[in-house]
Amino acid sequence: MGLLIEYFAAPSDTAATRLLDRGPGDDGIQVPDFDPAIVLTPLESALTGVDEDTILDNPRLSDPIAENDGSTIFTVTDELRDALATATPDQLAEAAEALADLEELGGADPDALAAVLDELADLSRTAQAADHHLYCWLSQ
């Protein structure tokens, strides 16, 4: 069985960690190929124009805040949440093209990636409006 990866919003790290054992369920977006260690930095860079080295210095970038035997909850930067929330369809398509070039995604279809980014943008808009953060639940 492969990795289960879901992105979700929560008001705080404490609230997010309560989902460690069961995951976000219907409140999350399943994104099987969006491993936070691989895609979040280039995605944020593509959407914001900020250099990846600068993004890597953000302590909320893929920070594991809770883990057990098979699951981990990672933080997502508020900068990425905000960039997704305000991105235009053209910006999301350009970011999808950049992600499709990642070796780790194995030549993923940019249109499929753009559809995923559109879902993440919707989640980000909802999170931003509620002053929530984004998180990633990864389970093996």
Domains, in order of start, for the chain: 4-139 (3.40.1760)
Question: 32 or 78, which is more confident?
Answer: 78
> How confident is the model over 76-101, as a mean pLDDT?
96
Q: Is the pLDDT of residue 34 over 80?
A: yes
- The predicted pLDDT at position 107 comes to 80
Asked if residue 69 has pLDDT above 90, the reply is no
Per DSSP, 132 falls in state P
Tell me the pLDDT of the chain averaged across its residues. 94
For 103, which DSSP code? G
- Average pLDDT in the 8-21 region? 96
Helical segments of 2-88, H only: 13-17, 36-48, 52-56, 78-86
For residue 9, what pLDDT is reported?
A: 98
pTM of the entire predicted model: 0.93
Q: Does residue 1 have a pLDDT over 70?
A: no
131: Cα separation from own chain's centroid: 17
Pairing of β 133-139 and β 29-30? unpaired
Taking a C-beta distance cutoff of 8 angstroms, is the pair 98, 42 a contact?
Answer: yes
Q: What is the pLDDT of residue 7?
A: 97
